[in-house]
Structure 1
């Protein structure tokens, strides 16, 4: 990437922000655009911008994202926005001669009951988790689009599959955030208000893998430099934890000492989501931030971002 023009689509999101921080350590000319300048859902605007700027390397991290409530409530928005963003950016990159593109998928593309840990070849082998099916289908379409441009045009476009991410720049919306941000906010507010019990959605038994977002960005830069294969690459830690254990870890970091209870009437989602990261390990990358350190950094970020 040395000396190249590098575009991060979605730089104001948690993932895009982490990529920008990581790329600032590289010898590249960094390009970013805000939605007020170019709406990535607007095909004409995207094509015009690409024709003018002609980025050589593209990280496609822009997406409409959210937790289980947002995915299940805003189903039309999640499929439409994510389909059109992928279609616009991938095609514009191809038409304007981008040398390399990375599309960031999501671990929710894997079937709800796929064998664990989730291998890259389990995509499309079974039904998806119903609550986030529209988002997953849009992401699968983006992956297949990358594969199609590789096979038809020989484009050096690659797909990566991050696990559940958390950290600086997360969305702390009380209803639409991911589980990590939601728990950090809930335990912090309970601590401040002196609330004696915090209710966590679901039974607490599902197992999830969590990756600190700056580790994910480092993995993406590593793969952009070193990988040009046509197979997906999972990005994760290779370790998981129950939601109950995770909730207790967040509470301890925040300093919340009250009770934690679980509302089994609320959806659990997929029973387990652990990625097989053996392909990534063979490509020379491993996660460095421990869960304890990551939660501490995420809480510090929440305190500074929520002021």
Structure 2
């Protein structure tokens, strides 16, 4: 009998890739999404289209009315978007907390065998991510297993919402005997990521051969990038080992600037534009990168930063050329 997985918010970037990966592994997949930001399955890129049951609607209503048993539940439903979205509408964070609360109440009753709550690197203290003195962020810097929870000031309302969600995860795991994995992805990226995110947005400017290529903020701010295929495989491959609540960084352990993204993208498009910055636009913390020693005990990323950016550029270039032919 096929194993069954529920993916809430499954029509977004990560959900599409979870569906593809789990279909290849033979899972029976149910995706619930209200399409407020997600992409209807009929519009998914061809390489991600796989058969599954799609339920359009509010995740909370689905969980209330459907009592199907699942071997795995992946909770992705949340307010998502680039930094401009998150900074511009901080009240949206309250909606994410509502979704998390509903999900964990359902999980406490129905008890899926394994649960993935997608946390974030935004939960880490911002004072450790400045221009000077930034450190590799370790899981122990936000620790809900300690006698007294350890945490600091996270990054924006989004960071607070994910911090609160992970606290709920640890609490429900302890009190209801749930197995909950909380991956803390750093900058996940891939070909079909929405253009509201900086990495595909910068690559798209290069594909359009813009000159100059404009980067929000200083362009010197750094992030730790992990390609989406590695991110998904790292999560799913860890689940057989999961007992109780567990958190883990997902990244490369290396910091790259957004300016470097632009340089690489232009290189793959075979031109040399001027790269300028746009002061005053949101840029977030100055430096963010992970300590990935825990992840590397069970998984090592396969796609390098350079390879990943090249894949994004090639995908966007192909899409751009196809659209141009249609026009």
Give the secondary-structure state (helix, strand or coil) at the position aligned to 2:294. Answer: helix
Coordinate RMSD, CA, aligned: 2.0
Q: What is the distance in 2 between the residues matched to 1:269 and 1:255?
A: 30
Q: What is the distance in 2 between the residues matched to 1:256 and 1:183?
A: 14
Equivalent position of 1:178 in the other structure: 197
Relative to structure 1, is the Cα distance of residues 96 and 178 closer, same or farther in structure 2, using a 3 angstrom cutoff? same
Give the secondary-structure state (helix, strand or coil) at the position aligned to 2:175. Answer: helix
Alignment of 1:184-263 (within 5 A): 184-189=203-208, 191=209, 195-263=210-278
Deviation at 1:167, TM superposition (A): 0.7
Count of matched residue positions in the alignment of Structure 1 and Structure 2: 290
Equivalent position of 1:144 in the other structure: 167
Q: What is the distance in 2 between the residues matched to 1:54 and 1:302?
A: 39
Relative to structure 1, is the Cα distance of residues 231 and 54 closer, same or farther in structure 2, using a 3 angstrom cutoff? closer
Residue number among 33, 39, 47 corresponding to 2:57 in the alignment: 39
Deviation at 1:38, TM superposition (A): 4.6
Q: What is the distance in 2 between the residues matched to 1:304 and 1:18?
A: 20
Work out whether residues 10 and 63 of structure 1, in 8 Å CA contact, stay in contact via their aligned partners in 2. Answer: yes
Equivalent position of 1:160 in the other structure: 183
Alignment of 1:1-307 (within 5 A): 3-35=2-34, 37-40=55-58, 43-49=60-66, 51=67, 53-77=68-92, 79-114=93-128, 116-123=135-142, 125-129=151-155, 133-172=156-195, 177-189=196-208, 191=209, 195-282=210-297, 284-303=298-317, 307=323
TM-score (normalizing by structure 1) = 0.87
Instruction: Mark the runs of 5 or more structure 1 residues left unpaired by the alignment.
Output: none
Deviation at 1:247, TM superposition (A): 1.9
Deviation at 1:102, TM superposition (A): 0.9
Work out whether residues 38 and 46 of structure 1, in 8 Å CA contact, stay in contact via their aligned partners in 2. Answer: no
Deviation at 1:202, TM superposition (A): 1.4
Give the secondary-structure state (helix, strand or coil) at the position aligned to 1:274. Answer: coil
Deviation at 1:40, TM superposition (A): 3.8
Work out whether residues 40 and 88 of structure 1, in 8 Å CA contact, stay in contact via their aligned partners in 2. Answer: no
Deviation at 1:155, TM superposition (A): 1.0
Work out whether residues 177 and 244 of structure 2, in 8 Å CA contact, stay in contact via their aligned partners in 1. Answer: no
Give the secondary-structure state (helix, strand or coil) at the position aligned to 1:231. Answer: strand
Give the secondary-structure state (helix, strand or coil) at the position aligned to 2:70. Answer: coil
Larger relative contact order (CA 8 Å, sep ≥ 6): 1
TM-score (normalizing by structure 2) = 0.82
Work out whether residues 180 and 246 of structure 2, in 8 Å CA contact, stay in contact via their aligned partners in 1. Answer: no
Q: What is the distance in 2 between the residues matched to 1:82 and 1:110?
A: 18
Work out whether residues 68 and 269 of structure 1, in 8 Å CA contact, stay in contact via their aligned partners in 2. Answer: yes
Give the secondary-structure state (helix, strand or coil) at the position aligned to 2:275. Answer: strand
Instruction: Mark the runs of 5 or more structure 2 residues left unpaired by the alignment.
Output: 36-54, 129-133, 143-149
Equivalent position of 2:147 in the other structure: none
Work out whether residues 16 and 62 of structure 1, in 8 Å CA contact, stay in contact via their aligned partners in 2. Answer: no
